[in-house]
Structure 1
């Protein structure tokens, strides 16, 4: 009995010793984070840039997929009424079938080669939809949830546009995806073949619109975004709201089918695509070797993965980044698609192996949530240094040269960095 008591006491001391060491380590890390002046500088510059709503210097449009990622910062610098008005624009020009457009733009600036739509509910504005994507509806619903979380203003749900409330219009957007972008065979959301979260299909030509060369497929990004949107919709819907569909059951079904069809348990990664009408790639090309980072991050945010899997996904992203001199975990895919397979986008350019803080930065909050603040801080650090070295926020970066590319004043990057720093600081404040 005495021996057992000694063993029990020793074990308790060991456990308390580990806990104490962890607490001390967290305290030191928290102090380091709170003393890091880079965080102040980057957040301040992000808020300066978020004085506007268009995606960046190369874009006149307000894009919903971008706005969804910088709305928290926007609400810090704009009156909530102004941010709300921008959100409602997307509902004012919603399709009859419930679909949501990508971008809205002053009709006088509607000069790009898109097929524009107009609405009497939104005079003076034009809109377009990149039909190869399946994330516009999900992005808008997620953005409304962030607006309510930040402001507490639930009245937006009862705003009436064209005889329908915003709550009804959000459900119509989900219903559009469940009807028009749905594979009955797999029980998953569909989209055109693009690179991970990208909006350009593989064949030469105008890559943002469905055409006779489009190959329909299933991927992790579209389904993760959809499930997150359903979760947000259910969280916003007031008690007693009579939904047209059992969305909780739909989300559960999609989650289960993601695990069944898209998660490769042996490789501990998501496969790029399942094709519904044939692959656009040659038979000797093994697409499954490619790591999709952005979609994987969104899957983690949607709650698809276990803590152990989250850690493994992060390790794989770090390993991919380590293979290129200037890469971070924001590298879109690795390795990139060969030019022969993806003629619309050369390797190491844009979404084909370019490095996007816009997505890499979204991994920081999940790492903290899953108990890895040290990794979160370390993986955010090169993104901060890169922004400061280039004196601004850029759309993407060349992993071979480190050069900033694409649009300058890219608000998506500014918003994601703002949110990532906020998450780090909140953790540090609790652990200092």
Structure 2
């Protein structure tokens, strides 16, 4: 067994502090109360039976969250790009308008949201272009580096150049994740077997993983290594001409919690895709590697006293004159979200991330690191304490953190955090900053950062409204509790849609929905606090259901047929 001891924490005390800090909306849009107890509201049958013209959400109690959609769409449009690649047009989004090139990290984190706003070419062509430009044994980067066979570039550019950030070890895992998402959304098995420059996509993905294990896996400690950055950043602390490139002879190596989380996820995703192609031997090997990595990470990088994963441990001997082991990095939320940690570790992680946010004076989640590295430690000019990757606040990571909280049994905290981001965005309409100073919220970097817009929108669509639309399945997990809401989710790549109207009454919840997916919907409805399910019906006919509890969240779970229907979850009388 590689699990740690379960420890209880005073999480509800901390949560109450967060909830109290969020100002309630001052205007009420509509009355949720039906005329009499037991009277069901009218159903928008015609609207739910048609594909929506665009993905949108409505949340009368929280107009600031509703208004975020306009910022998201505006930012996406500014960051659209198109150029000619060897296989045809490449269409995608750059991280920000000023960047001009597509990054693999950002592509990976944007796809879950882009699928609801863009067609197939914006999802597929960047992935295929990264794979077409995969390094061979002698391929040189633009700066002259030769990373080795199977490596993946950090970027693809209109002029055709590629460049790998050799200080990090996450470019291969991000591309595997991007490919896995597209495989599930629209690609399927046929896409994995598609040939690019004479080699299948599946073969190229396997080769990318083997580069990582050949060049960056330390067999002694059973962990992935990288340069001495922060947990997720690409800026090394050593002085050099290029802050993102490693000098393997002189620079320091570390084991980052961030890389272990991404590699763990990539191993499981790669195993799933190989299994679907009936390569069971490779799939089993990948699953075994994932389990070994999970055990090694929890054994060597979990800080049981602090209740979080360390930023990293040093492979190369290096002594600091400050307590690096007290720093908590945002990759802790990623570790919780991908399943690297168990629920009890995750509970401590989210509590400690919230404590760090409060200590730093940040008015929203997404704090990259706290406490930061001291002044002068990083040679890079923009890495002073509280800046950029050294303790800056990022909505890119804040959105990821909120989604992780929603999916890990902390929905009340997640909603409070989402409202914080929405209220901050309302202060600067039309701007989504790359990062902000935690104490002042002053915006830095780009003010149209598509990666942040994407992860925050994911926190709304998948986190709060709980919508997932994939090629082989669709599900809704409304986490609205006592708040009425509507969502219209269209997937342009497939033409599939899932829409629903959620209406709360003290005696029941009405879920009117429409779905064009060929399979039944998996529904997991988060119950309001203090409520218990008595029965569930669809179109007036009772159906079976079960209850599932994840830490503080209790769900009523049932299957619902595709098409347009009304589900009613009735509560026990108290």
Distance 1:259 1:61 in 2: 36
Which residue in 2 is equivalent to 1:277? 316
Deviation at 1:260, TM superposition (A): 1.0
2:236 pairs with 1:201: yes
Aligned equivalent of 1:299: 335
Secondary structure of residue in 2 paired with 1:415: helix
Describe the SS at the equivalent of 1:146: helix
CA displacement at 1:84 relative to structure 2:
0.8
Structure 2 gaps of 5+ residues are 1-31, 33-57, 81-92, 137-148, 467-477, 481-501, 503-524, 528-574
- Whole-angstrom CA distance in 2 between matches of 1:243 and 1:103: 32
**SS at the partner of 1:148?**
helix
CA contact (8 A) 1:307 1:370 kept: yes
- Match status 1:360 vs 2:398: yes
1:60 shift after superposition: 1.1
1:148-199 deviation line (CA, Å, top 9, x unaligned): 3333544321110122111111111111111110101101111111011000
Please tell me whether residue 146 in structure 1 is matched to residue 185 in structure 2: no
Selected match of 2:215 from 180, 187, 193: 180
Query: Would the alpha carbon gap of residues 56 and 70 (structure 1) be closer, same or farther in structure 2, given more than 3 Å must change?
Result: same
Matched, 1:333 2:369: yes
Larger deviation, residues 358-367 vs 38-47:
38-47
**Structure 2 contact 334–404 (Cα < 8 Å) conserved:** no
Paired residue secondary structure (2:220)? coil
Secondary structure in 2 aligned to 1:197?
coil
User: Does residue 376 of the first structure (1) align with residue 402 of the second (2)?
Assistant: no
Q: How far did residue 421 of structure 1 move? A: 0.4
Higher fraction of strand:
2
Displacement of 1:92 after TM fit?
A: 0.5
| Residue pair 1:368, 1:376 contacting (<8 A) in 2 also | yes
Matched, 1:162 2:162: no
Q: TM-score, normalised by structure 2?
A: 0.64
Instruction: Provide the C-alpha distance between the structure 1 equivalents of 2:118 and 2:212, rounded to a whole number of angstroms.
Output: 32
Q: Name the one with the larger helix percent.
A: 1
Contact 2:261 2:335 (C-alpha < 8 Å) held by counterparts: yes
Is residue 2:325 matched to residue 1:288? yes
The corresponding residue for 1:26 is none
Paired residue secondary structure (2:272): helix
| Number of residue equivalences | 382
TM-score by length of 1: 0.84
Kept in 1, the 8 Å contact 2:217–2:225? The answer is yes
Q: Tell me the distance in 2 between the aligned counterparts of 1:155 and 1:65.
A: 25
Partner in structure 2 of residue 134 of structure 1: 169
Match of 1:342 in 2: 378
CA distance in structure 2 between the partners assigned to 1:83 and 1:312 by the alignment: 35
* RCO comparison, higher one (Cα < 8 Å, 6+): 1
Aligned residues of 1:90 and 1:101 also touching (Cα < 8 A): yes
> What CA distance in whole angstroms lies between the structure 2 residues aligned with 1:71 and 1:145?
10
Distance 2:377 2:281 in 1: 43
Partner of 1:43: 69
| SS of alignment partner, residue 218 of structure 1 | strand
Q: Which has the larger radius of gyration?
A: 2
* Alpha-carbon RMSD: 1.9
Runs of 4+ in 1 over 4 A off after TM superposition: 31-34, 242-245
